[in-house]
Structure 1
Amino acid sequence: MYSIKWLAVFLVLTVSQFCFAQHKSWTIPLELNNYQLKSKHDIGIKASEFIGSDFIAVSLRIEGNDKQVQNCTFTLDVNDITYTFVKSHEWDGDDQTIFVSDIIYLPATKADYWHLKATSSDKSEFKIDAKGFLRVFVPEDNKTPNEKPSRPESTSERADCLCPLPDYIGRSNWGSTFNLNADIFTPPAAYTTVTHLIVHHSAGTNTSNNWKGVVASIFDAHVHTNGWQDIGYNWLIDPNGVLYEGRGGGDNVRGAHMCGYNNNTLGVCLLGNFEIASPTSSMLAKLKELLAYKACKESISADGDGDIVSYPGHMHHISGHKDGCSPNYTSCPGVNLYTKLDSMRLETKRQISTVCLAPVKTLNITDEKSLIYPVPASDYICSNAFEISHFTNTYGIEFSSFLKRKDENCYDISAIPSGLYFVQLTGQTLTYRLYKM
């Protein structure tokens, strides 16, 4: 048997009878120099108690001298339970000499001995030079599990868009121990024009009594393990339907979530692994609200499609992570969520047309129905008493020249693209919101 040793800095993680008012984290360096790797070899990491923690989040980063790091399987043994590090479905890098893992969530139990193991997947002998680290994160304690989300007074939602931004937990709340605020963690932030809304799953734990801590653990892994500026997602949703503000920088900040092609996208992550579980109805309801808000705000056709600077070049406006990646790159957002996206597109469209598209200013619903109908509209629009003087989109572009008289009261609007429009009637001060399907 070959004598193989990982040259590691062994840290004793001592937390004795301690409640976590603040998060705790450790970066444990690992290094392997020109050793022949044939079978399993242990890296002993002695850890003491994690009293008072809700969970322990662990992620791994290994950088080798060639692609052979991709032929290794890395596992972690904790108290006779083996956890396998899975290559991160979020990792945007193309460098095959780097292995970055998804987060492993360990239960909050006494973990006296940890053993990290590397196994050659093809069982052959080869030499490997590698270095990296194990990242360990323990969240702050969860004193307010039922805290009600709130909406800050200052939001990025447009005054003329009646699809509201749902209430949410802000960065300064879930990220208080990182001293997060509305700004990006590591400047400068980059911005983009959003045309596509990308749905993800975290591929992590499906149960927790501290979802704020889970969001914080994703931030920690994205920043410290992946090496990103901030958490990659723009928004996150937990199984209770609670929405969390993601990447700092404000509206239309470009995230890191889409196989390296992040321009023109917004990324929303549902917390859980939906290869093995199903998203809750509360999650899906909140997702619909968020997608309706953003689609309405950006005049995105919820059930439509369009070009994007990503594989395959043309996608549904509401798509899953795997739709924008090369084949077999990822299964995200998981089969049990991905199969719901067709209905989510239609439900989001319905949400916009039935809930969000009331007139911008009107006296009452009776006046609205008597003056302009149907709402939403498809091929025609009618007004019983007045002519249409202006028909503009949300960018102020006039489309009234595309209107064709159908009869005395109605106009043919079939030549006008789908989207959100504002309609003004001759002699009226009211402006009506109309969704053209």
Structure 2
Amino acid sequence: MLNKNYLLLVFLFPLLFGVLVGILLIDPVVANPSETKVGQITLNESNTASAFSNTENLLISIPENKLEEVIEKEEKADFKFNAVGLQYEGNVPENSNLEFYLQVEDGEWQLMPMMEPATEQGEELKATDLLFENGESLKYKIVLRRNSTSDKSPVISNVKVTYLNTTFGPKGERSSALGQRSAQSSKFVISREDWGADESYRFWGPEYAEPKKFVIHHTAGGNGGDDPAATMRAIYYWHAVALGWGDVGYNYLLDSEGNVYEGRYGGNNVIGAHVYNEVKNINYNKGTIGISIMGCYDDNNCPTLNKFNKKIKNSLTTLIAKKSKALNIKPKGQSVLFDVKTPNIVGHKDLDYTTCPGNRIYKKMKRIRIQAKKKYSNNTYAWRGKMEDNTIRTAYLGDWKQEVTVSYKNTGTRTWKKEKTYLKVYNDDKEDVSKFKNRSWKDKYGKFEFNEKSVPPGETATFTFTINTPKKPDLYNNIFKVFINKSPINKSKTMVTTRVDKTPK
């Protein structure tokens, strides 16, 4: 006779085996939907011994009697990648030059644009911008030049090529749809969560300063292509981890379709890492909002040249107008920031020694200021609000009591204070007492305070109160208005129509 435990084991084994196999077959990408795969190639003595004039310190320089030194190497990656960047230590003296080139698969050699310093922490490792190409193999080429043999040679070391696969996560189609919806809704900016930011990479805590200017950049890399969310994740890793900035350097980024992405974590007025003048030792990050356009827009210094199209320009000027209203910045004005008086909307090159944001964007700066001012002027109100939502049902039975919430967004330029702001409810346009009045109302029109302590521009106020439906079946129009200091604020008047049905006996 078989042991009962044995029979139980025989019965359970196939079931347990099936569960185990199912677990093993699960794609790891599902478990970690925004995983960034990282690979690295280090230039060292073993893979290019002839390149080093000083093998002990692994220094690369031009031989004594030469004007040029070229180092070229082909490598196979450990996985498919979609972005590549390069870092090094060293310096480039006057009358000399250093260039890095990358070739992905059998494509063309592409000159890698150098990144400018973005923080005052004094990065030892210098870096190129990311190149966005798909592949599994690459060649890199380092070219050192000087004008004459009497000139000093560039001396570099610790050369690293980093390749990334950031395609695991929210896809570009999702982000594009969000961006399109934002044109008709209050959600204008695609959040970090929506583009798949891995918050474990972030280690630089938010710091804050009141912005006075907008600084326009280009990423000098890919324009987002078919998967701008993957481009965002690559830029995030490159800035936060590889460069050690602890987060995305820019406050906002735009893709080729005009979608706007949240960059640096921390919300309004957070200080970014996008413009630091190393020569003057001035940190222009304090007091500026960094907005970067995905892609490369310089006729003389781009791996792939992109077009600064109408979609980008429209979203850029809308973003600037919205932020200008909230921060009381005049888009066509000028102001002093640290040592220099400049327009309130500038290119990176206006504050640092760089070609960023590229001549194709920079030549449009005057037009950008004009369009931003026009949008700013068309909709600038100190006190302005818009009903965003309410929990009032479209139909009720007569003599019905319910607690409801009405939400208003502050679309003006001033903060709403609790003690001076209230919501009133009227019956129809005659502004009679509402037929939905409840005994708990402290005023015949309600005069409800919002739930929050204060509501800054761009934020939402919620008013919660109780209504009582009338007994008579009919269609009723309730008019809602928000008041500041006894005066109704612009655009807050909203009609909500409700049907009241006869209560069954």
Same fold (TM over 0.5): yes
Range that drifts further, 69-78 or 198-207: 69-78
SS of 1:71 mapped into structure 2: strand
Q: Structure 1 pair 85/336, CA: closer, same or farther in 2 (3 Å)? A: closer
Q: Structure 1 pair 19/41, CA: closer, same or farther in 2 (3 Å)? A: farther
Q: Please name the residue that 1:322 is paired with.
A: 349
Match among 183, 186, 199 for residue 203 of structure 2: 186
1:27 equivalent in alignment to 2:44: no
Q: After superposition, where does 1:191-206 map in structure 2 within 5 Å?
A: 191-206=208-223
Of the two, which has the highest radius of gyration?
2
Q: After superposition, where does 1:148-227 map in structure 2 within 5 Å?
A: 148-149=177-178, 166-176=187-197, 178-179=198-199, 185-206=202-223, 208-227=225-244
Q: Please name the residue that 1:71 is paired with.
A: 97
Which amino acid counterpart does residue 353 of structure 1 have in structure 2? S
1:285 equivalent in alignment to 2:317: no
Q: Structure 1 pair 114/69, CA: closer, same or farther in 2 (3 Å)? A: farther
Q: Structure 1 pair 256/95, CA: closer, same or farther in 2 (3 Å)? A: closer
1:331 equivalent in alignment to 2:355: yes
Q: Please name the residue that 2:291 is paired with.
A: 268
Post-superposition Cα deviations, 1:307-347, rounded to whole Å, max 9, x if no partner, equal 1025xx1111111111122xxx1121222212222222222
Range that drifts further, 113-122 or 131-140: 113-122
List gaps (5 residues or longer) in structure 1.
1-17, 152-163, 363-391, 397-419
SS of 1:61 mapped into structure 2: strand
Q: Please name the residue that 2:47 is paired with.
A: none
Which amino acid counterpart does residue 195 of structure 1 have in structure 2? K
Following superposition, the deviation at residue 296 of structure 1 comes to 0.3
Following superposition, the deviation at residue 203 of structure 1 comes to 1.5
Contact 1:70 / 1:99 at 8 angstroms: preserved in 2?
A: no
SS of 2:189 mapped into structure 1: coil
Q: Please name the residue that 1:229 is paired with.
A: 246
SS of 2:250 mapped into structure 1: coil
1:238 equivalent in alignment to 2:255: yes
Q: Structure 1 pair 395/87, CA: closer, same or farther in 2 (3 Å)? A: same
Post-superposition Cα deviations, 1:145-204, rounded to whole Å, max 9, x if no partner, equal 3223279xxxxxxxxxxxx9652221123234x246xxx911322111011111111111
Q: Please name the residue that 2:452 is paired with.
A: none
1:104 equivalent in alignment to 2:160: no
Distance 1:127 1:209 in 2: 39
Following superposition, the deviation at residue 114 of structure 1 comes to 2.5
Distance 2:74 2:265 in 1: 35
Following superposition, the deviation at residue 429 of structure 1 comes to 2.5
1:355 equivalent in alignment to 2:396: no
Q: Structure 1 pair 127/119, CA: closer, same or farther in 2 (3 Å)? A: closer
Q: Structure 1 pair 244/361, CA: closer, same or farther in 2 (3 Å)? A: closer
Distance 2:40 2:194 in 1: 24
Q: Structure 1 pair 129/332, CA: closer, same or farther in 2 (3 Å)? A: closer
Aligned residues: 337
Range that drifts further, 256-265 or 198-207: 198-207
Distance 1:250 1:193 in 2: 12
Q: Structure 1 pair 37/281, CA: closer, same or farther in 2 (3 Å)? A: same
Distance 1:341 1:129 in 2: 37
Post-superposition Cα deviations, 1:272-326, rounded to whole Å, max 9, x if no partner, equal 112243312111111122111110001111111111025xx1111111111122x
Which amino acid counterpart does residue 26 of structure 1 have in structure 2? G
Q: Structure 1 pair 166/349, CA: closer, same or farther in 2 (3 Å)? A: farther
| TM-score (normalizing by structure 2) | 0.58
Match among 142, 146, 152 for residue 117 of structure 1: 142
Following superposition, the deviation at residue 359 of structure 1 comes to 6.0
Contact 1:60 / 1:133 at 8 angstroms: preserved in 2?
A: yes
Considering only aligned residues, what root-mean-square deviation do their CA atoms show, in Å?
Answer: 3.9
SS of 2:289 mapped into structure 1: strand
1:429 equivalent in alignment to 2:487: yes
Distance 1:131 1:123 in 2: 26
Q: After superposition, where does 1:80-95 map in structure 2 within 5 Å?
A: 81-89=108-116, 91-92=118-119
Percent pairwise identity: 23
Instruction: Point out which structure has higher relative CO (alpha carbons under 8 A, 6+ apart).
Output: 1
Q: After superposition, where does 1:133-144 map in structure 2 within 5 Å?
A: 133-141=160-168, 144=171
Distance 1:69 1:99 in 2: 19
